[in-house]
Amino acid sequence: MAAPSEAPVTRQVSGHAAPAPVPSGPPSWQPLAAAVAELPVLDASGRPVLFGELFRERRAIVVFVRHFLCYICKEYVEDLAKIPKSFLQEANVTLIVIGQSSYHHIEAFCKLTGYSHEIYVDPEREIYKRLGMKRGEEIASSGQSPHVKSNILSGSIRSLWRAVTGPLFDFQGDPAQQGGTLILGPGNNIHFIHHDRNRLDHKPINSVLQLVGVQHVDFTSRPSVIHV
């Protein structure tokens, strides 16, 4: 039987804090509520999978993105796509992206970004809400992201073009929803959580990889993806 719903997890590691190793002993972070672990996400075929099953056996880096039309999310996921699977396997870590669109958009988004790791969607945003992901943008200086290549004008134009030329004309998620990054597992243990305050406030990928013992990745070489 599921445990009673707990308050959203709000513990956050500052974007300016020096990375620290994930504790190897008993979990020192707030556990993930069982009610959250039992919520479903959908894979690319629309098949439901319990959220907690994604990290039941091993640690996972779980990245919640704003929406699939967001050019900043697209370029961030393009860099996630550059992480070699062998690096993750050596550290026994899974990489997971979660969006909030219909599952019908997953395949096209993966093709666009070159992303081949695990990806799911939470169309009702129930997990976003339970984990305390913000809605709306907080005015805060997030610094220059090493993962965003486009300026706001060119990026927004590309996003709009993808919206109007896609098979389903929608925003592929709530435009006001912000994302975040977590390190979860094995089991319902939260080792790290970062809530994005605005669209540019995502964690630099290498700082997250360092927390789980994954090798540093050079993100300067760009993958062969189609920009539309």
Average pLDDT, the chain: 79
Q: Which of 14-23, 99-108, 147-156 has the highest mean pLDDT?
A: 99-108
Taking alpha carbons only, the member of 95, 180, 168, 76 closest to residue 134 is: 180
Quick one: residue 60, left, alpha or beta (phi over 0 = left, psi -120 to 50 = alpha)?
A: beta
Q: Name the pLDDT band for 27 (thresholds 50, 70, 90).
A: very low
**Going from the N-terminus, what domains does the chain have, and what CATH number goes with each?**
30-136+150-212 (3.40.30.10)
Mean pLDDT of 205-215: 96
pLDDT of 21: 42
> Residue 219 above 60 pLDDT?
yes
> Residue 135 above 50 pLDDT?
yes
pTM over 0.95: no
> Residue 6 above 50 pLDDT?
no
pLDDT digits (tens, 9 = 90+) for 103-120: 998 999 999 999 999 999
In the numeric block, which tokens belong to residue 137?
Answer: 């943008």
pLDDT digits (tens, 9 = 90+) for 152-195: 544 455 545 455 555 554 556 788 899 999 999 999 999 999 99
Q: What percent of the chain has pLDDT over 90?
A: 52
Q: Name the pLDDT band for 126 (thresholds 50, 70, 90).
A: very high
Q: How far is Cα 194 from Cα 197, in angstroms, rounded to an integer? A: 9
pLDDT of 11: 38
Mean pLDDT of 196-212: 90
Q: How far is Cα 62 from Cα 204, in angstroms, rounded to an integer? A: 14
pLDDT of 168: 55
**Tokens 């069982």 appear where?**
34
Full DSSP string of 131-173: TT--BS---------TT--S-HHHHHHHHHHHHHHSSS-S-SS
Chain CA centroid to CA 170, Å: 21
